[in-house]
Homo-oligomer: A and B are copies of this chain.
Amino acid sequence: MYIYIYYPVVMLKYILLGFLSRRPRTGYELKSVMEQTTMHFWHAYHSQIYTTLRKLEEDGLVVSELEDGDDKLNRRRYELTDAGRADLKQWLDTPMSEMDHVKEGLLVRVFFSDGRDRQAVIDELSFQRQLHQHTLDEYRQIERHLPEGEAAQVREIAFSASTLRFGIAYEQLYLRWLDETMATIQQLG
């Protein structure tokens, strides 16, 4: 007989703990830094970030206090507790043994696009091309300014630059694939 202990693997939890392990931040700051640094491998809406932070506080992994600045803005700043630091360390020390499932809705559409008007498919891919080109440009912009950004330490920069190279390579692959696929459809006669 086994006693099964279920550990849900909550990436957002560890993203938040990870950033808070570097310095205390508000929910808004966490949202902003995610938009600049993790958006190419993990995205979260502000609603989820705020509720997750509250839950982490309930669980004793972070503590928060309302800032009293000059203004009346309701800034709640979170910082990591020892328990939070230990939880993060334990998670990092447990290697991942599975692969994530890719979920690309556009490919679902392409897969079933036999029977669609050829030009309609090409127009759709062409629009997606614009989106991906724009995203790639953004990533390159971020790459140029990496050393000035959030990650002030050499090692932090090295690891975040690695993930950013993944994002750039991914967008380049996506653009190549879109061009290739549009050409294929064009030739389909």
Tell me the A residues contacting B by CB distance below 8 Å: 9, 11, 14-15, 18, 21, 37-43, 88, 92-93, 95-116, 120, 123-124, 127-128, 131-132, 135, 153, 155-156, 158-160, 162-163, 165-167, 169-170, 173, 176-177, 180-181, 184-185, 188
A119→B38 CA distance, assembly (Å): 24
Q: So how many copies of this chain end up in the complex?
A: 2
Candidates B96, B106, B160; contact of A96 at CB < 8 Å: B106
Inter-chain CA distance A166–B174, complex, in Å, is 8
Find out whether the CB atom of A41 lies under 8 angstroms from the CB atom of B102. yes
Extra inter-chain contacts (14) besides given A165-B180, A169-B173, CB under 8 Å: A15-B112, A18-B111, A18-B112, A38-B111, A39-B101, A40-B107, A41-B108, A42-B101, A43-B102, A92-B113, A93-B116, A93-B120, A104-B166, A115-B155
| A109 vs B98: C-alpha distance when bound (angstroms) | 13
| Alpha-carbon gap, A96 to B188, bound state (A) | 22
B166 touches A177 (CB 8 A): yes
